[in-house]
Amino acid sequence: MFERMTLFERAVGAETDIVSKEMFNWIDDPEISNALKSLRTVMQDTKSIPSVDGSAARLKLEALARSGAFNNLAERIRIALRPEATASVCRAYIEREMQNLPQPVKLYYMGPMFRRERPQKGRYRQFYQIGAEVLGGTDAPPIDAEVIEMLMTFFDKCGLQGATLYINSIGHNAENCRRGYVANLKAALEKVKDKLGPDSQRRIDTNPLRVLDSKLESEQAIIATLPHIADHLCDECKTHYAEVKRQLEVRGVLYQENWRLVRGLDYYMRTTFEITAPGLGSQNAVCGGGRYDGLVELLGGPPTKGIGFAIGEDRLLLSLQESGKGQVQQGRDVYIAWMGERAYATAIRAAKDLRKAGFSVELPPLEQKFGKALGQADKLGARYALILGDNEVSEALWTLKTLADGTQQKLTEPDLLQFLRDQKPTSQ
Ligand code: HAM
């Protein structure tokens, strides 16, 4: 969960919102952290420098602070709670020399990420991602399409309804491709600067592409008039994008193109995609991803192709719940109502066997009258009550009550297991 801050500054981009505004980070050494704080105070108030105690060590520190070397040292030990995991996966790929494994290397992760965002429905400061990355090998368009196909199949299996796939290509970082487009976009934005809000005005200088991401109502009509990146892609990127779309069609994956889909992380190139799902309000992106050839190299590894995605697990569950799916099954499969010492010994064994067979079982720890036990089974939402008294144990015939309709039957132990197995669905 921890990484060096510099990893994200380099990979995700120091100017992105994620890194510049939303990261939880600190210098992981209280002494250096405090020294840095007091030095900064001294440096801010230059008048106080002559009056500070002039010990050699102090003077040396001040000289260091002035030269910026101290800051550099401090920044090298700054650590952060990861806001995403693609940078970490690339770091691990390099560290573990995974370029020596058969390529491509296909990796996945599940875990918590942290962003200091304004919390609201579907947006949390600690949230969970399920991600996958394909590293190394070729950048052939079928890889992009296959990754997306896998995602859509997964959502389908989860029973997620109304998932919409948006795709775009943001080209590559060259004058005849994205850089040229960004210059064009910047010029167009300068012309309408007065009509934009403060955030977008600032982004004209820091990251013009991000203006396309704006959700401000007043800016939508202006953004609609801006140049499209598709008209500025170089021939290779254009061909790559056309082939990704064709490959999606071959696989029967439905998509919509969205020329404004630029994504908020700097490492992307060519294919970008996002999937939205209903029931999430304004935070409706349930997954984001794209191609990031060159990221491994940027972090000090060999030239490596890469593509991947991350699903927002919290949002996926929210959307499933909103549509009535993904309800956690309450209740139990079997509630064991027992009376008597001998019956309890059998009940313990029955609970063990049923649990081993994959059923959820409630075994009350204390003896209670059958009437009370059955009432409790009802309250817990159990599907069946297994009734074990002296008679059942002596006859080796167990009583199984179906709580929904009150019917009862006597079954031998093996028949009981078989009967329950046949009565799907269970909580398994
Ligand atoms: P991302 O678009 O920043 O991409 O995040 C992916 C998904 O994580 C979002 O679509 C959303 O569902 C979820 N998510 C993001 N922030 C929050 C939050 N504050 N609360 C709840 N859910 C959130 C990435 O993180 C890239 N690393 C994806 C990627 C992998 N690209 C290539 N490989």
Which tens digits make up the pLDDT trace of 220-244? 999 999 999 999 999 999 999 999 9
* Cα 312 to averaged position of ligand 1 atoms, centre (Å): 6
Residue linked to tokens 């990031």: 292
Phi, psi of 92 (to 5 degrees): -65, -40
Ligand 1 nearest-atom number relative to CA 83: 25
**Strands laid side by side in the 384-388 sheet:** 361-362, 334-338, 384-388, 398-402, 408-411
Q: Is 289 in the pocket of ligand 1 (CB under 6 A)?
A: yes
Q: Is 306 in the pocket of ligand 1 (CB under 6 A)?
A: no
Q: Is 131 in the pocket of ligand 1 (CB under 6 A)?
A: yes
* Cα 416 to averaged position of ligand 1 atoms, centre (Å): 47
Q: How far is CA 341 from CA 62, 94, 361, in A?
A: 80, 62, 19
Out of 118, 129, 165, 261, give the residue to mutate to test ligand 1, the one with the largest number of ligand atoms within 8 Å of its CB: 129
Q: Give the whole-angstrom CA distance, residue 378 versus residue 33.
A: 59
Mean pLDDT of 240-266: 96
State the pLDDT confidence band at 58, using cuts at 50, 70 and 90: low
Q: Give the whole-angstrom CA distance, residue 325 versus residue 423.
A: 21
Q: Can you say how many angstroms the Cα of residue 45 is from the centroid of all Cα atoms in its chain?
A: 44
Name the percent of the chain lying above pLDDT 90.
Answer: 79
| Residue 336 near residue 178 (C-beta atoms within 8 A) | no
Q: Is 133 in the pocket of ligand 1 (CB under 6 A)?
A: yes
* Cα 163 to averaged position of ligand 1 atoms, centre (Å): 16
State the pLDDT confidence band at 427, using cuts at 50, 70 and 90: very low
Mean pLDDT of 152-175: 95
List CB contacts of 280: < 8 A, sequence separation 6 or more.
Answer: 121, 122, 286, 315, 318, 319, 322
Contacts 24+ apart (CB under 8 A), 5-8: 5/75, 5/78, 5/79, 5/80, 6/75, 6/76, 6/78, 7/87, 7/88, 7/91, 7/299, 8/80, 8/82, 8/83, 8/84, 8/87
Out of 167, 315, 317, 319, give the residue to mutate to test ligand 1, the one with the largest number of ligand atoms within 8 Å of its CB: 315
Q: Is 266 in the pocket of ligand 1 (CB under 6 A)?
A: no
Q: How far is CA 427 from CA 284, 333, 358, 394, in A?
A: 29, 7, 8, 31
Q: Is pLDDT at 61 greater than 70 in this prediction?
A: no
Return the bridge partners of 292, or none.
none
